[in-house]
Amino acid sequence: MKVLTRELRFQTRGEVDLIDITREVERIVEESGIENGVALVFVPGATGAIVTIEHESGLLEDFKRALRELIPKGRGYLHDRIDDNAHSHLRATLLGASECFPVVNGRLMRGTWQQIFFVELDVRSRNRRVIVQVMGE
């Protein structure tokens, strides 16, 4: 089995910044030379997430609004006593730190309207990294 690990690095603008990383992930899969396997996309961090969603401006705004409504800021979360970003951690926990995609015939398999996004959930801008690991034959 062959394994290729690459890292994406970028600056975010803070809460709730959505960054489309689809093309970068597809490029890594293509460069891996792996024909059939799996691609893991993972963010090391407790206030970032990886999601799939259609890259359509109205839907992206709906997504941001839904996050704010589901887990609003300033609700008396105990973690806020430390650094006032409990809502960021809770949102990241619900969304998840990774997504996994099949690789078939050297291509990343995803739906037509299914793009891969990094979601910044922390209250400030950050330097972020995302790990892309492609495994297979």
Q: Identify the CATH number of the domain in which residue 41 sits.
A: 2.60.120.460
In the predicted model, what is the mean pLDDT of the chain? 97
Task: Tell me what pLDDT residue 131 has.
Answer: 98
pLDDT digits (tens, 9 = 90+) for 36-51: 999 999 999 999 999 9
Task: Tell me what pLDDT residue 97 has.
Answer: 98
Name the domain count of the chain: 1
Q: By C-alpha distance, which of 31, 44, 56 is closest to 107? A: 31
Task: Tell me what pLDDT residue 115 has.
Answer: 98
Range of the domain at 113: 2-136
Sites in the chain below the pLDDT cut of 70: none
Percent of the chain with pLDDT over 90: 99
Nearest-angstrom CA–CA distance, 46 and 39: 21
- Please give the model's pTM, rounded to 2 decimal places: 0.96
Percent of the chain with pLDDT over 70: 100
E strand or H helix at 109: none
Q: By C-alpha distance, which of 132, 125, 115, 131 is closest to 47? A: 125
Structure tokens at 58: 């109205």
